[in-house]
Structures are given as C-alpha cells and as structure tokens.
Structure 1
Amino acid sequence: MDWTRDGKDWPNREHSRFVRHRPHYWHIQEAGEGAIVLLLHGTGGATHSWRDVFPILARHYHVVAIDLPGQGFTRLGARQRCGIDAMSQDIAALLEGENLLPDAIVGHSAGAALALRMVRDLERPPKAIVGLNAALENFKGMAGWLFPMMARMMALNPFSASEISRWLGNATGVEYLIGGIGSHISPEGLALYRRLVADRHHTGATLAMVAQWTLEGLWHDLPGIEVPTLLIVGDTDRAVPPATSERAAGRLPDAELARFPGLGHLAHEEAPEAVTARIEAFLKAHL
C-alpha cells in the first residue's frame, strides 16, 4: 500500500505516523489520553477495521492501533517473521521502544490470539484483554488446507499473490468474501477492503501470515493466562465458530463471554457503537 496514493483518505488519517523499528516499518495510529489501549486487527485487515471504534475509545483512553507486518501500510521487513510468536515479539519490542506498553489489548480474530500471546512477551502484562470473534483454534475443514496451500503456491510462484489480489479486487470478490464470513458492512467498508486486497504486497503478507500461523502452543498456554479476558462473539460468524470462544473461555482462568445476535465476523464494523459500549464497560471494570 502506498501512503501518498492509498492513504490520502484513510480513516483516522490525522492520527497516523510511521516508525522504523526492526525488522519492520510500522504504521501506527494514536489518539486520546489515559490508560493505553492497543487495537490489533485480524488477518488481512488493517487499522481501517477500527475506523468507528477508535474515535469512541479515544474519548477516554490513549488508543493505539497498528497495521500488522506487511498488511495495510506497515512494510514487511522480514518475511519469515509472520508467525504468531515472531509477530508477538516484534510488536512487543515496538511498543516498548515507543513507550506504549498497553494497559489493555483489544484484538479481532487473529489479533485476539496475538493479544493473548503478548502476555508472555510484553515487559509487563496488560490488565485486560478483549477478543472479538477470537481465532484461537487452527482453521478446520477446507480452510485448514486451502489457505496454507495458497501461501505455499505464492512462495513457488511470485505472481500468485497478484492473481489472488486481482480476483478479490474485482467488482464482487470482496462482497463475496465478507458475506462468506457472515457480515454485512457499509459500502465505505467494502471499498476499503477492496483497496487492501487489490494490493499484492498486502495479499502476499496475509498469505505468509496464514502459512506460518499455528495456535497449538497458545491453546496449551491458555490456562496459565490470568489476565481478565472478555470474549465477544457474533452469533452469525462463519469464519470462527462461536464454539471456539466458548471452549477458550472454559480454558482461561478469568474469562467472560458476550454474545451479539445477528452479527458476523466483523461485528465491530457492523455495530461499532454497541460493541464498543460493551468493551468500554469491561475496560472500566479492570483499568
């Protein structure tokens, strides 16, 4: 993604800055005062996913949102560091270097898994974690072999990321993808996702992340993560079954579950006010 071209009307652009911290060149959005709340988007997303949540939380907190390595406007500096452990370590090092140790972390999908893994890697653990449709188990069924297979194809064929971007970036590709995960978002949101997936560098980094991602270690460690955790579930999520959060809540020592009927995998983009109100209530209780 090119900031001068694609960033000129990017959501919350006025709060963006860029930081060189090895191995990546990071895009960060930062606003507000108070306890630090870190926002971590899911696989294939970017800071735009928090476009409506970010300003609401910034009324009461110092909110920090980042683009994951290679996705959005963060430039990938080391392709082999897209797995959960390496990504957690690199984000923790970035935050420590910028004096932005989070008091709470809110993560969507794979971002929720990162939030829980970062408890181990941060200089001090957060006081609260919120997982939105938290992807805490490896993909099952077709997705279990399809996504890693696509990533391996890309490693063998440098043009495959461009081909995938071309397919997803057409008139109906993104609508098909978003509908397939049980969500209905605004035309503005669809246009932003279309812009993302049309970029082969973003798509390539997303596929590298999927290929390197494994959650067995984190799942094993859940009983030892004592940070109070709220797991928010959209009942119509077709990407991460609601039962995943139910099982995770049973393994975490201090977890609660909140269900949102009629919302899918992008629940925070479909109903940002309602979802953020639930997040704020949880943060208020623990910060």
Structure 2
Amino acid sequence: MTTPHTATSGNPEIARTVDVAGIATNYHDVGEGPPVVLLHGSGPGVTAWANWRGVIPQLAEHHRVIAPDILGFGYTALPAGVRYGLETWTAHLTGFLDALGLERVALVGNSFGGALALSLVTTLPERVDRLVLMGSVGVPFELTEGLDAVWGFQPSLPEMRRLLDVFTYDHTIGTDDLARLRLEAATRPGVQEAFSAMFPSPRQRSIDAMTIDEARIREIGQDTLLLHGRDDQVIPLANSLRLLELIVPSQLHVFGRCGHWVQIEKATEFTRLVRDFLA
C-alpha cells in the first residue's frame, strides 16, 4: 500500500494524494467509522470537492468519508495516452481502494459516478457493502438535451452559466461567481482536452458504453438507495425507476422541485436519507 500524503496548497479542492498504479490521485478523507466512498459526476470542471463539499461534514460525523477525483477529472494526474472508458475508470477505482487498504466500502455514485459504482458492484461485489445511486447512468436511455450540453461543453462564461441552469431547478444557485469558478476549473491546463476526449460525438455511444448488462444488475444483492430529482434535465427519472425494478433490495426517493444536483439543492434531505440508510 502506498503511503498517502497531504497537500498544503491552500486550495480546498486539493487534499490528499495517493499513488494508484503510477497515477497521483487526489482525494478527500474525513471522519472516522465505516468507510463511504463518494463518486462525483462528469460535469466540466468537476472535482470531488465541488460535488460533495456540502455534505461531507455531515456524513463524516458517523463515517469515514472518502471522495476521490476520478481519473481524468479534478486534480488527479492526467496520464498521457490514457483511453477513457468504464473499464479504465473501474480499474482506477479498484486500485484506489487497494492503495488505501479498503477491502469493503459503501459507495455513493452521482450520475456518471453511478455507472462507475454499478460497474464495481457487478464485477467485484465483495468490495461493496451498500450502494447509493443518485441520478445514475448505467441503464439504457436516449441522450437528453441536458446531457448533450454537459458533455459537449465549449468553454465560455455564458455556456457555463447556461449549464448551471441545466443542472438545477432553483436557478438562483447558479450565480455568476459560481460560473466563473467552474469555468476556471474547467480550463486549467489539460482539463478541457481530457474532458473532450471522454465523450466525443455521437454522444449516445458514451451512454451505451457505460450501460451495465441488466442481467448483472439483477444480481446485485446489496441494499441500494436510489435518489433522483423529478425535474432532472440531464438524466431521466426513468433511469432510477428502471434500477428500482432491476435491483431487488432497493428503494427510491424522488425529490420534487429538484434538478440533477440533489446533493446541492436538497443537501439536508440528501444527507439525512443517506445517513439513515447507511446506519
């Protein structure tokens, strides 16, 4: 196991670093107790901290909360020549768990991170204790206008401002200041190039490539909590309804007046539901 080290940059998005098969992987590690790994979504400029900062402190009151920057995102190193795809991301996540000596964890997957969680639980079920999927990819669906806008993002302040409105039901969340911060994150050296390489046109192929065989999903035996915003413009509510049908030990909570960012728009309710479920 590689010894992690802690950054001293003063940037809250940069926390600890661990070597995963030669890839310096940035992650947050807060609290004590049963380990919970939070897997972020795939928006431009996303980091684990941007995705989960509003819920990490509350979840860490009873759990060890670990939130990595998935390969190709945030402040995890961008290796040259990497071919992004579900197999690559799953191998990196498995290596990350190995590097931290985590044999079995609860997984919380948001959107793209939900497909990654489903990939891990269906290939290495012994590594997963419980499963939380929020606005998850992983079952078949047609590309939405919202997801096409997210994956097809071309850096500009007006485009980032428009994306914030796509992500949320309450558009007051997407302030100009937040748009500037996320644009800066999305345009750091190498970031936009990596992002563009992940989800090229036609983007339906990327959805199909992250779809898990339904026979494998039916085999999931872990208790599963499904969360979805009723007004999600990015990932259709039908995804979670289908997962509810496929996963026998599952339950679904749908939030009205809520878009794709459940953990932000409904942070208090999200945290309470996840904490109760994990308990």
* TM-score bin (small chain): 0.7 to 0.9
Structure 1 residues 109 and 216: alpha-carbon distance in aligned structure 2, compared to 1, 3 A threshold: closer
Distance 2:278 2:161 in 1: 33
Q: C-alpha offsets along residues 140-171 of structure 1, whole Å, 9 cap, x if unaligned?
A: 24659968996xxxxxxxxxx9xx23x2xx2x
Answering whether residue 197 of structure 2 is matched by residue 208 of structure 1, we say yes
Displacement, 1:178?
1.7
Distance 2:166 2:33 in 1: 38
Partner of residue 157, structure 1: none
Contact preservation (8 Å) 1:106, 1:131:
yes
Distance 2:89 2:247 in 1: 22
Partner of residue 251, structure 1: 246
Identity %: 26
Displacement, 1:227?
1.3
Give the paired residue count: 261
Runs of at least 5 residues in structure 2 that lack an aligned partner in the other structure: 1-6
Q: After superposition, where does 1:167-186 map in structure 2 within 5 Å?
A: 167=156, 170=157, 172-183=158-169, 184=171, 185=173
Partner of residue 59, structure 1: 61
**Greater CA drift, 188-197 or 247-256:** 188-197
For the aligned residues, what is the CA RMSD? 2.8
Partner of residue 198, structure 1: 187
Q: Which amino acid aligns with 2:117?
A: A
Structure 1 residues 141 and 42: alpha-carbon distance in aligned structure 2, compared to 1, 3 A threshold: closer
Structure 1 residues 35 and 80: alpha-carbon distance in aligned structure 2, compared to 1, 3 A threshold: same
SS at match of 1:39: strand
Q: Which amino acid aligns with 2:190?
A: H
Q: Which amino acid aligns with 2:47?
A: A
Partner of residue 235, structure 2: 240
Structure 1 residues 218 and 88: alpha-carbon distance in aligned structure 2, compared to 1, 3 A threshold: farther
Distance 2:239 2:147 in 1: 19
SS at match of 1:26: strand
Displacement, 1:273?
1.5
Contact preservation (8 Å) 1:235, 1:242:
yes
Q: C-alpha offsets along residues 35-64 of structure 1, whole Å, 9 cap, x if unaligned?
A: 000000011321121001111111110010
Distance 1:207 1:72 in 2: 14
Contact preservation (8 Å) 2:145, 2:233:
no
Distance 2:58 2:144 in 1: 37
Contact preservation (8 Å) 1:147, 1:210:
no
Distance 2:224 2:178 in 1: 28
Contact preservation (8 Å) 2:32, 2:62:
yes
Displacement, 1:94?
1.6
Distance 2:125 2:21 in 1: 18
- Normalised by the length of structure 2, the TM-score is 0.83
Partner of residue 115, structure 1: 117
Partner of residue 85, structure 1: 87
